[in-house]
Each structure stands twice: as C-alpha cells, then as structure tokens.
Structure 1
Amino acid sequence: MSNSYLKHLRKNKWFHGTTLAAWHDICKQGIVSNYNKGNELDFGYGFYLTPIKEQAEHFISTMLEYRKQESFLSE
C-alpha cells in the first residue's frame, strides 16, 4: 500500500456526511458493514468516511439538494 493511503488511514478523526435520521439509525444500530453485501455498494447507499470535514459537508449538502429536487418533481 502506498504511503499516501497509509497517511490517511492513520488519521484519528473521520467524518461521515449523513442525514439526521440516518445518524439516529447509526447510533441505535451501529454500522452494519454487510448491509449491501453482494451488491455493488460496500456499506449501503451513501456510506463513506473521509478525513476531510469539508468533503463530508459537501456530500450531505449535495444529497439534501438532490432530495429536495426529487421531492419537488414528485409533487
């Protein structure tokens, strides 16, 4: 494994961009690592960790905007 990957994997703080409802589920159930096992996604829809806070914030902002647009179109 390259040194650039190892540098990131050694970080003590990770960020996850998610909705409040999903955060409650994670707190209640923990991370279900085999949620989508056998499908193209490793940890379920939208689950990822990043050592960069702004990257997680951007992800959830984009997802919330997408859901707003999706809701508007379905009315």
Structure 2
Amino acid sequence: MFNTIEIDRTNLTIMGVKFSDLRTLDSTANAIGSNMFEGFQPTAKGIEIIRDYVTGKISLSEVVAFAKQKAYV
C-alpha cells in the first residue's frame, strides 16, 4: 500500500513542519519518500529531527540518540 504525506511547497511545510527554503524542503521530502518505500512511516516529530539534521542544527550522533529513544514518534 502506498502512503502519502502532506507537502505544501507554497507554505514550505511537510506534515505541518516548517522549512526555511524550498531546496531543503525538497531534499528532505525526497529522502523521506525513499525511506517510505522501505517501510518508514514519518511523523511530524520525525520530520523535525530530519530537518534539523539536514540544516546542521543537530549532529548525526544526536539523530542516532533520538532514534534509540524513539523520539521521532
């Protein structure tokens, strides 16, 4: 089954999570979409974590820690 997520390129949001620019939104949406084919089910919190990693706000080790804590749920 194919699931969709809400992407609003006008307001620069994915599932309500705000992005600063279209390029970051598109690259994040592409990464999320690729992972969804492998069974990933995104949440708004998970998208925030991915956005913060892509923009350099958090490190890879912090992403791993969030994943271990299941903070993306």
TM, length-normalised to structure 1: 0.33
Q: Quick one: higher RCO (CA 8 Å, sep 6+), 1 or 2?
A: 1
Which is higher, the Rg of structure 1 or of structure 2?
A: 1
Query: Which structure shows the higher strand fraction?
Result: 2
